């Protein structure tokens, strides 16, 4: 048999070794799922916040300020933005406010954000964030 190496010259045929699948590692299930779970949590949160964000047509606005603000600082922030507080939220860092004039509501929302409000949400859509 010309062309074969001398060590294989006397053999009739070459036998291939069977292909075996790689062994599965125990406990790999969660490591494979966590990116999908993280994506689900993040996308659901973003969609929810987008739906609840206050718009120019929003009459009552739930204003979320930094958590280190007390009730007094939260009310002062609303006052500096040109609004008035209607109710206090369950936490000192949340108040429900209004501007009262529909034509300047967008300016009120912009002023709240520039004064330091973290979020401005539609209080009517939240239902239950304000105390009774």
Q: What is the pLDDT of residues 15-32, one digit of tens each?
A: 666 777 766 665 567 778
Tell me, what CATH number does 92's domain have? Answer: 3.30.70
Confidence (pLDDT) at 6: 60
Host domain of residue 119: 52-126
Can you tell me the distance from the alpha carbon of 19 to that of 5, in angstroms, rounded to the nearest whole number? 25
In the chain, pLDDT over 90 holds for what percent of residues? Answer: 8
Among 96, 90, 93, 88, which residue's Cα sits nearest to residue 73?
A: 93
Q: Is the residue at 37 inside a domain?
A: no
Establish if 3 belongs to a structural domain. no
Residue 96 lies in a domain: yes
Instruction: Tell whether the model's pLDDT for residue 129 goes beyond 50.
Output: no
Considering the entire predicted model, what is its pTM? Answer: 0.59
Please report whether residue 9 resides in a domain.
no
Total of domains in the chain: 1
């Amino acid at each position: 048999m010309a062309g074969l190496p001398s060590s294989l010259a006397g053999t009739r045929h070459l036998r291939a070794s069977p292909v075996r699948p790689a062994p599965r590692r125990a406990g790999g299930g969660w490591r494979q799922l966590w990116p999908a779970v993280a994506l689900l949590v993040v996308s659901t949160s973003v969609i929810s916040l987008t739906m609840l964000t206050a718009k120019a047509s929003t009459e009552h606005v739930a204003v979320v300020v930094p958590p280190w603000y007390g009730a007094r600082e939260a009310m002062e922030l609303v006052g500096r933005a040109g609004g008035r507080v209607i109710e206090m939220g369950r936490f000192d860092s949340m108040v429900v406010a209004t501007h009262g004039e529909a034509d300047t509501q967008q300016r009120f929302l912009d002023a709240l954000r520039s004064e330091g409000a973290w979020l401005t949400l539609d209080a009517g859509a939240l239902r239950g964030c304000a105390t009774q």
